[in-house]
Structure 1
Amino acid sequence: MTLLRLENLTASYGDSQALFGVDLQMAQGEVTALMGRNGMGKTTTVKAICRMIRSQGTLMLDSQDLHMLPSHKVARKGVGLVPEGRRCFADLTVRENLTAAARPGDWTLRRVTELFPRLGERKGQRAASLSGGEQQMLAIGRALMTNPRLLILDEATEGLAPIVRQEIWAALNRLRQETNVAILLIDKSLKELSAVSDRAVILEKGRTVWSGAMTDLTPDISEKYVGV
């Protein structure tokens, strides 16, 4: 069953058009990599899904037209965002960051700290005192505490130490194997994306230029649209 459906999605920043026709479909429990070079519309697509930018075209979550909703109601419909740059509440503790976002469901403080044991060890610390990797884990945990049906991660491992990147990819793989949460991933690491993703959608200049099973993404296609 289709959870998220985008068809011919367009969006602009004022007079500057950024999306010219994005097509994307995701099923419940599916992991999709949203790929493309920098500046091709990936983050703008995420902003459109979350209603942080005005858009036109088909934008559906289940049978709900997201165009009709403000961003906070999109979140309540089950869309959890881990934004680029983390954006934790710096003056709140780890526990407070997590519980502030909590909504009823399977994801609780205990379950999040089982996924990320470092957060359990630092529950009483202010977010500002955490390392960059720990703040990223906190941002993911905070999104999970909303008990989303769709989890969106925008560059969740960018700029992190290799060992922390491995922890985060391992956690995402656990989510894929152990939950029914759909995950939309933006990341630059094709190797890690290939290991956890079921499907890929590639954007070029604000348009979908390729979509399909991750196993069908050939080196020629990735070099043409993703390679530097």
Structure 2
Amino acid sequence: MSLLTVQGLMASYGPSQALFGVDLSLDEGEVLALMGRNGMGKSTTIKVICGMLAASDGGLDFAGRDLRQMQSHRIAQLGVGLVPEGRRCFAPLTVEENLTAAARAGEWDFAKVAALFPRLAERRHQKAASLSGGEQQMLAIGRALMTNPRLLILDEATEGLAPVVRQEIWAAIGTLKSQTGMAILVVDKTLKELAQVADKAVILNKGETVWSGGMQDLTPDLTDLYLGV
């Protein structure tokens, strides 16, 4: 049975419908790339999965539990960890305080996060507001890991970062894939890097799933049709 199953998912912002039928599934230990041009429903899908926007129709199941009427904090407690677009670190808190504020008992603790991102150990007593954008992104990922999730969702985790920092983030995602049984759902625009870590992909167009399959089956024709500028 899939860890996460989304079937015919629909959702609206007030009178404006945003999702018209999103389908995806993700097993333990898999990495799924959620793809599509800007405004096609990727972040909205994540909001519905995490309980920040109500589904108007469709199925939404995580580890055998129906998420559709569940509050965000309850979904997080079930094991869904979100790294939101824009990082959203707690600016007045230190690195260590940001991490411990979200901590739940489990394998991931400060030492393990610091091993994944050594810069966070070096800056453990600095306030998040003083960090670079890349360091804040590492902190946001570390904060999600401190919740000890079964599913880690990364929404545009490398957007706007310097190339060297982006490579550090991708390397960390690769480490998570190879060394943990964590499922990962990642939204990003860089096909080359996604191809190195993702097992399969789902493409959204105008709020609905238009293609799904293995990353190796994603042809240039498909990327031109649904992902090209």
Q: What residue number does 2:5 align with?
A: 5
1:150 CA displacement: 0.4
- CA distance in 1 between partners of 2:224 and 2:186 (Å): 19
- CA distance in 2 between partners of 1:72 and 1:118 (Å): 29
1:222 CA displacement: 1.1
> Which contiguous aligned blocks of 4+ residues in structure 1 show a shift greater than 4 angstroms?
none
1:5-64 CA distances to partner (integer Å, 9 max, x unpaired)? 000000000000000000000001100000000000000000000010010210000210
After the TM superposition, which residues 57-68 of structure 1 pair with which residues of structure 2 at under 5 Å, given as runs? 57-68=58-69
- CA distance in 2 between partners of 1:112 and 1:141 (Å): 6
1:178 CA displacement: 0.3
- CA distance in 2 between partners of 1:37 and 1:139 (Å): 24
1:181-202 CA distances to partner (integer Å, 9 max, x unpaired)? 1000001101101110000000
- CA distance in 2 between partners of 1:58 and 1:85 (Å): 28
Q: What residue number does 1:141 align with?
A: 142
1:85 CA displacement: 0.4
- CA distance in 2 between partners of 1:116 and 1:46 (Å): 25
Cα contact 2:54–2:69 (8 A) shared by 1: no
- CA distance in 2 between partners of 1:192 and 1:105 (Å): 29
After the TM superposition, which residues 1-228 of structure 1 pair with which residues of structure 2 at under 5 Å, given as runs? 1-55=1-55, 56-228=57-229
Q: Percent identity?
A: 68
1:68 CA displacement: 2.7
- CA distance in 2 between partners of 1:15 and 1:4 (Å): 28
Q: Where does structure 2 lack aligned partners over 5 or more consecutive residues?
A: none
Q: Where does structure 1 lack aligned partners over 5 or more consecutive residues?
A: none
TM-score, length-scaled by structure 2: 0.99
TM-score, length-scaled by structure 1: 0.99
Residue type at the aligned position of 2:58: G
Residue type at the aligned position of 2:156: E
- CA distance in 2 between partners of 1:107 and 1:62 (Å): 20
Secondary structure at the residue paired with 2:228? Answer: coil
- CA distance in 2 between partners of 1:104 and 1:179 (Å): 16
Cα contact 2:30–2:182 (8 A) shared by 1: yes
- CA distance in 1 between partners of 2:37 and 2:73 (Å): 29
- CA distance in 2 between partners of 1:37 and 1:68 (Å): 29
RMSD of Structure 2 on Structure 1 (CA): 0.5
